[in-house]
Amino acid sequence: MVNAIQTIRCWKCRTLRAASPPNCWSCGAFLPDRSPPRIFGNIRDTVSPDLIDLLESNNPPLESEIPSIRAIIADGEEQLEYLDAQIQDMEVTLAQLICRHREISEHVRQHHAIISPIRSLPAELMCEIFAAALSSYIPNPLPTTPPHKPLYLPIPDEEAYSPPWHLAQVCQSWRRYALSYPRLWSSVVVPRISSTNCGAYNLMNTQLLRSANASLNVHWPNPIPLWLDLMLAHCQRWRTLSISIRYLTSYGPLDWLQPFKGRFHRLERLSIDNRPSQPLPDIFSTSPNLRHVSLSPKMFITYNCHPTPVSLPWGHITHYRGMFAPSKQRRILESAHKLVECALGFNTSQVEVDRAGSPISLPCLRRLRSERTTFLSHLTTPTLEHLWAGDTPPQYMPVLLSFLTRSPCALQTLVLTDCRICLGLIPVLEQLPDLTYLFIDSYRKADLYEADRDATEGAAIIAVFTAMSMSDARSCLCPRLISMVYGYDFGDGLSRKSFFNMASSRLNSTQNDRVCFQHLRLFNSRERGRPATNHPAVASVVQLLRDEGLDAGISDPLECDRLVERLF
């Protein structure tokens, strides 16, 4: 047997040669199996004392010392060449190890994915996760709001209503889930186009086909007849319909919608924002399952003095929101005896008090918003739990008191806007022993901020908050109050002090039949439409309440407006 010749690589010239002879035939360097250059240890130990003196001074060397110095330099350069060769070998090896590490890591990751728990999730659960991710998001209100559910179907933007086109492009399994779950394709936004668009039409048709027999949520901005045939073929499956008419189109009246009548078998929620008051044909009056109706924007805006009424099955409606003349609102409520939640706006600044003494009874109503307190004289609500009374100056407090006396309900939430605190508020709060949430906005028109404000208003503020203060010696107003939002207008230090004394007394109450304060938000009612400013006197006392454990804070007026809008 012929022995294989052992070969090694020269560290200096990198030539592959036999292990012997000991020196490389190409460059003459010793081979690595021989003793390598001495590269470790203290270099100064090999230097003679005479050379050390030369290193530490600028003296020239002697002629006899120059050869030894050159030998030291040559030896050092040889050591550097050896080190460079070793470093190069190690860098190549390190790069190979890093590459191999990446390959094995990816191999392990791929096999980890095989046993990942997400692969074991049922398809139904994955589809529910997709549906939750695609649904429109409603921000949570501030922590001062009591538990409540959204009152009306929001009009989402097109992104929040997008079908899951992108989910079907992630991977094969996600595409299979998306295509097999019709509910993911059930939110339909009709494109805003003014002419036939094959791409948009085909995309809409594909989505409707993928929705199979699922109930549809349809948002149709500025309806035009170009979509009539496609929409008509699927209208039996509409569960919610949002129509937004922002401007008049060149197609004229909406009579072309007439074929939809009698075909809304599943329709439960209807939202119409008809700003140009374009007449709508009678197509919803025969909808047997219609329960939720919104005939105005989320915030009542007086953009239209003559909103167009809509024929609806009012006897079935449980949730209503609309802005009409007081007489029209009264006729609607007379027919809608099953209302549970209601928000009333008015296209007139004045609403007459009911002098006839024939209020409408709404036995099922739980939540009521009236932009005019005087309209409450037209109503009786024995089961009301949440009330928003807008425009509540002192002269209208008797109307509010009469309403609460006539409707002995267990009211839990009271919102008073444009409310000038007066002594008439005390008997109103006396009627509300179960109240847990109170929102008072003391904002008033500019002409009421006069330089000659007398002490009557300040005395009324002190009297109201003194009556609300908890004391072991007497009863107080609203003993179960937990949360409060107050738009303050402290005219003097005494009224401010009375409010904070009230808050502190409720926080430190020890009586068992009373509930301690938990949440408090303040905003300056004079700063509407302007950036909030810091009021040191108010901020310092709020900090003291925080130190005592109360969730207290100063909010922006617009933030509080949005908060109360979410309540109703």
- What DSSP assignment string belongs to 316-378? G--EEEEEE-HHHHHHHHHH-TT-SEEEEEESSS------S--PEE-TT--EEEESSGGGGGG
pLDDT digits 0-9 by tens, 363-409: 999 999 999 999 999 999 999 999 999 888 888 999 999 999 998 88
- In this predicted model, which residue has the larger pLDDT, 550 or 156? 550
pLDDT digits 0-9 by tens, 268-298: 999 988 877 778 888 999 999 999 999 876 6
pLDDT digits 0-9 by tens, 4-13: 445 556 655 6
The pLDDT value recorded for residue 449 is: 45
Task: Check if the beta carbon of residue 502 is closer than 8 Å to that of residue 466.
Answer: yes
pLDDT digits 0-9 by tens, 462-496: 889 889 888 765 678 888 899 999 888 766 667 78
pLDDT, mean over the chain: 79
Domain positions in the chain are 36-110, 412-444+454-568
The percentage of the chain sitting over the pLDDT mark of 90, rounded to a whole number, equals: 25
The pLDDT value recorded for residue 300 is: 67
Task: Check if the beta carbon of residue 520 is closer than 8 Å to that of residue 546.
Answer: no
As a whole number of angstroms, the distance between CA 415 and CA 483 comes to 12
Token pair belonging to 460: 């009324």
Read off the amino acid at residue 424: G
- In this predicted model, which residue has the larger pLDDT, 295 or 535? 295
The pLDDT value recorded for residue 19 is: 53
Listed range (33-47, 197-211, 283-297, 343-357) with the worst mean pLDDT: 33-47
As a whole number of angstroms, the distance between CA 405 and CA 151 comes to 26
Query: Nearest CA to 378 among 414, 353, 346?
Result: 353
Token pair belonging to 397: 């407090």
Inform me whether the pLDDT recorded for 358 exceeds 70: yes
The pLDDT value recorded for residue 234 is: 92
E strands, 37-170, in order: none
As a whole number of angstroms, the distance between CA 442 and CA 525 comes to 6
**Axis-axis angle for helices 536-547, 493-507 (nearest 10):** 10
As a whole number of angstroms, the distance between CA 39 and CA 409 comes to 96
